A and B are shown apart, each in its own frame.
Chain A
Amino acid sequence: MAEAADDRIAEGKLDLVPMIDCIMLLLLFFILTTKFTSEEKTISSLLPTDKGQAATKQKTVEPPQQVSICIYPAGLQKGGQPSQYFAQLHEMQPAAINVIPKAWIRIGSADPIELDGSMLHTKNSEQMQTSVNMVHQYIKENLAKFEVGNAADRKAQAPITIQCFSGMSWMFALVAYDACRGYEGGITGRKSTGKPTDFDDAREVDFAPPRIRDYSAKELGEELFEIVNAK
Chain B
Amino acid sequence: MAGFGKKSKRPMNHADAEIDLVPMIDCVFLMLLFFMLCGRITMDQRTEQITVPPTKTAAKFKDPEGWSREIINVFGSTQHGDPPRNTIRIGTHDFKSQGVNDYSGYQGLRAILDSVYDKAEKYDDPKPSGMRLPKVIIEIRADADTEYRVVQEIQQVLTDTLDLTNMQPKKGLDPKTARCFVNLDFTTRRPEDK
Contact = CB atoms under 8 A, between A and B. Distances in A.
Interface of A: 16, 20, 23-24, 26-27, 30-31, 33-50, 52-56, 97-99, 117, 120-121, 123-124, 128-129, 132-133, 136, 164-175, 177-179, 181-182, 185, 191-196, 200, 207-210, 213-215
A192 B57 contact: yes
Given A30-B36, A34-B39, A41 B60 contact: yes
B90 interface: no
Interface residues of B, number: 89
A39 B149 CA distance: 26
Given A132-B191, A194-B62, 9 more contacts: A16-B25, A33-B42, A36-B39, A41-B188, A53-B171, A97-B77, A174-B188, A200-B126, A215-B100
B38 A36 contact: yes
Interface of B: 21, 24-25, 28-29, 31-32, 35-36, 38-42, 46-47, 49, 51-64, 74, 76-77, 85, 99-101, 125-131, 133, 139, 141-153, 155-156, 158-161, 167, 169-173, 175, 178, 180-194
B115 to A, nearest CB: 20
A178 B58 contact: yes
Nearest to B151: A170
B53 A174 contact: yes
B133 to A, nearest CB: 8
A49 B193 CA distance: 34
Given A34-B41, A40-B189, A170 B145 contact: yes
Contacts of A41: 58-60, 187-190
Given A44-B185, A132-B56, A170-B142, A209 B156 contact: yes
